[in-house]
Every structure is written in C-alpha cells, then in structure tokens.
Structure 1
C-alpha cells in the first residue's frame, strides 16, 4: 500500500518539473515580436525634409509608448534617395532597421536610373503608407495670370518656352510640370534647383515663370503678394487649401500626390510587418501627431502593406510615359 501511495506523488513531481522547465519557452513564445531594444529609422533625405519631419514625429511617439526601446533617426541622403533606401534594403530583416522612403526611390527611380543597387519589388518590404502632402502649381504675381487656363495660354503662346523651376532632375516637381506641358501641348524649359526653398526663391524673383512645389514651401509667401497658387496637384482639393482648385478641375488632367511610406528590408517576416503596421497606424491616429503634421500641411494616410505595394506599382505606371516622352534620365 505504501508503494501505491508514493507512485502518484512521484508522477506529480515529474509533471511539475516538466511544466516549470517549459515555462521559459512559453514566456519566450509570448514575447512581443517588436520592437527590439534599438530601432533605427533610416531617412534617405536630409534633416528638415518632409520624410525627416515625419520620421522624427513617428520616433517620438513610438519612444513614448515603448520607453525600453531607443528609436534613432538616421539621415542617409544622396542619389535621389537611393543611398538611404539601399541601406534599408540591405539591413538585417529582424525589425531593428526600418525606414521612410517615397515614390522616387520606391518606384520612379527604376525608370530614371540605368541601374539601382536594390530592387524595390524584392528587396523592400512595404509596411504602410504614412502621409500625403499636396503640391501646388505656383507662378510669380508678375506673370499676370490668375488661372491655370490663363497660364497655359501664355505658355503656348511663347515660342521660346516659359522656364519652370523644380527641386531636381527626376523629382516629382519636374515630372508634374512635364506632364502639364505634354497634356497642354506647350513648350517649357526646365531649370532645376537644389531644394524647394531655392526653387521658391527663384519663383519669387521671377527667375522662373512657374513651378510645381510642395505647398508648405509656397504658402508662407502668399502674404507677401509675390506669388500666386493656381492649383493643387492632388486628385481632390486639399483641406489645407480648400479654395484652390485641382489641376483636373482647371482643365488639365494631371494628378500628382507626394507621399511618404514606411518600409523594411525584403526578408522582414509578415508577423513583424503586421506588428509595426499596427503600431504606426496607432501613432498616426494620435491627436498630438495629427496636429504636428498639420503644421506642415501633411495628412496621415496609413494603409495595409498590400495597399502600399500597389501604390508603388501605380506610381511607376503613372510616370512611365511622361519620363519616356521627356527623355529624362539620371546616369
């Protein structure tokens, strides 16, 4: 009888030992997949550019929610955003490195450069669209036009071609102007500048007769009376400029949305992508974040990873014919 009484006890002890032995593994399995102790957010553009602003707002919010993790923004500008985007693509796919990029490095640059050091289709994992910001078609007041129709009439009547400013070869500001010129049948001369402020200054001085630039760079100049905004380039009117018509409303079928997106290296697991997507979507819904972005005329626009992948493909298709017709290349 004594032997029969002790047998269950030994069994219970063995089961208990086995249970305690597996607890660390169970705890590990339930641990959050993201974030790790350090997260690098690579921005392929310089400090003060819209991707940098968005990246720092994002990092601040995530840091507040995850005080045990350090979120570090690293600027890696150069080669139209290709250098920083390549650094994202070649990082370890464990969630410790993510980055903010945009339509150029993620889509359009495949049409502009003979070769990229990464393939956006395979080396980049889309996480979510982050934000959108309007661009505007602006002219110096001295040009004497008040509508898109009046501007196009003047442009088509000038045999030498009006000069338009942009923030660089192959940028959205050039592509938008080339699309307008092609749709209108007007000849225009491209004059690139190194930055949006430089192009805006040229517009104010009348060094160029028109430019398609980020709205945030032009709107502060409206009070001076030196420039006029004729249209926004977005599909719908901007909530920040509700009285300004779109290009489509103005009779020219051109749409151009500037956007920022969050991406990771191509090998990033679906589980990590989903977790980051949920975290960032939460950030973009925070009232404080919305207000910070609003100051820059930026609208939060989170999406699913698949929707971002489609946006990348659509962006490439949108500009392929414009680039080909204008013979724009960066070698």
Structure 2
C-alpha cells in the first residue's frame, strides 16, 4: 500500500480532532445563553395591546434570565414587516416575536404573496388573548344585542361596520358572524383601531368590533355601547354583557390572541427554557394583575400545545376565508 503524503495525513488528523468540537461548541453556546441582550419584535406600533403585553413581560423574563430584553417595534403592512424581519433573524435565541391571529393564521390565506411562512417560526407558547366586543354608537338605534342581530338580518346592506384593517381578528370575527347569521353588513376597513373607533364615536359608522384593551375605556366612559362579547363565556370586566352564544349563535367564539415565537432552528433547549420562563413571568402575581386589569385573559402554554392550537386555528379560519372569498393586497 502506498503511503499517504505527509500533508494529507496532517489534514486528516486535524479534521478528526476538530469534528467533535463543533457539537461541543454548540452545546457550550446553548449553556451560556443568554450572554447578551435579547430582542423582542412587536410588529405593531408602541402603545397598542401587543406592545403592552410584551412590555409587561420583557422585564420580568429578563430578570429571570439575568439578561436585558428590549422591545423593538416594527409596524407596518398589518404586522407583515415586523414578522418577516423576525423570520429572517438568526435562530440563536436572541430574537423573539409576538405572533397573533393575523401573522400566524389569516395572512397566509388572504395574501397572494407573503414574504414569510408561519412555518419559519418555532412556537414557544401561548401567552394571552384579548376578548372581542361588539360595540355601537349609543345613538345608532340598537337597544340590545338581540335586537341588533334582528336588525342586521332584516336589513341586508343597510348597515356597515368599521374594522382596524383587512385581515385583523376584528374583521374576521365579524365575517364569521355574517356567515353564521346570513346577514350582509358592509365592511369599512381603517388603518388601525383608533381611527375605526373615532368614526363610530362620531356616528360616521354605526358599529365596530374592539378588543378589550381598546374597548373597555370607551365603554366605561359611555362613548360606545357594548352589545355582545364574542368569547365563549362572559368576561369579568363586562359581566352584564351577553355572549353571542347566549344570543342564539351556537359554538360562536372569536378572540384576538397573542403567542411567543422564535425563528425556526433555534436550539430546542433554548426554546424550552423560554417557554418555562415565559409561563413563570406571566403568572407572577403583579404581572398577571396588570394584564388582567388591561382586559387580557392570561392563558400561558407551552410549544407543543401552541403548535396543536395553530393547526386547528388554521384549518378553521382558512376555510372561512376561502368560503367568503376574502383577500388582502
């Protein structure tokens, strides 16, 4: 047998020595995580419900991890800009994302071209949800939820409703109601909750769907009137307001939910630790109290449970979007 050249022998020996070091280095990096500040992307402007939730949790999780977590707001295009930015980040545990119904479920069915895929993310865990409320201008002529539903059915095309935007949970919830009741109500999309609310308060549009974060202050001040909640059960902050199920729409439930994600490929041990720390933070008594006072339903879960939830949500809402031929540009 011909002897290998000295250079090739040295190369082979070096390779055999270095190969085991790569997994060892990866494990060492995971063990040292987090060794620098963590970025939490919120794909909506500062001051909204998504931003509030992230800013309540980030300091608590940061203290638990012994590292700073800072919020980076990247609003625009119904959350697509920020979500896409997070999808393209390194999967190293230093980028988090607040994902919601729109980014993780609706957009995939409503947009012809989406720069990211929900599968670009690994689910960390469900965080909370905002109950949705049907609200009207107090002078719109609706006495209660039952009379309101009867008016919609009896007068197709007469009424319109405002939404924070095409493809928002508020928009899809109202489309579900129209599907279940066979009513025709004209959709008037706005660029955000504030603009939609203002025109309902001014009487330009008679009704809208708001989440508790935006709706409770306006309801309590008397500027808007709550007719029904879209949750499966009445909510503690509005115990006198019936559910749509109580008004005759069986199995009706629609909410705006928030969950935590990281780029796909993030090491499993990091994802698992984030899940544990997120749940611990959200259940901290002082944090939980602030979130519930803001109108949130606190429902922390883990990655596998969130993955199963996403499958059900996707099947249900994509079928509705297809049936109603909804689309966004």
Which TM-score bucket, shorter chain as reference? 0.7 to 0.9
In structure 2, runs of 5+ residues without a counterpart are: 1-23
Alignment of 1:146-161 (within 5 A): 146-161=143-158
**Contact 2:105-2:317 within 8 A present in 1 as well:** no
Residue 215 (structure 1) shift: 2.0
Tell me what 2:268 maps to: 270
* DSSP 3-state at the match of 1:230: strand
1:273-321: CA deviations, max 9, x gaps?
Answer: 1111111111011111112212311122111101111222222222223
CA distance in 1, matches of 2:299, 2:290: 14
CA distance in 2, matches of 1:35, 1:57: 20
Alignment of 1:295-310 (within 5 A): 295-310=293-308
Distance 1:89 1:143, change over 3 A: same
**Contact 1:168-1:193 within 8 A present in 2 as well:** yes
Distance 1:46 1:224, change over 3 A: closer
**Contact 1:108-1:315 within 8 A present in 2 as well:** no
Tell me what 1:54 maps to: 53
* DSSP 3-state at the match of 1:213: strand
**Contact 1:290-1:299 within 8 A present in 2 as well:** no
1:231-269: CA deviations, max 9, x gaps?
Answer: 111122212222222111111243112111110001012
TM-score (normalised: structure 1)? 0.86
Residue 31 (structure 1) shift: 7.7
Number of positions where the alignment pairs a residue of Structure 1 with one of Structure 2: 304
TM-score (normalised: structure 2)? 0.86
Tell me what 2:213 maps to: 216
Moved more, 167-176 or 77-86: 77-86
Moved more, 31-40 or 292-301: 31-40
CA distance in 2, matches of 1:261, 1:328: 24
**Contact 1:37-1:70 within 8 A present in 2 as well:** yes
Tell me what 1:72 maps to: 70
Deviating 4+ runs (over 3 angstroms): 28-34, 223-226
CA distance in 1, matches of 2:159, 2:195: 18
Distance 1:144 1:31, change over 3 A: closer
Name which of 150, 160, 163 aligns with 1:163. 160
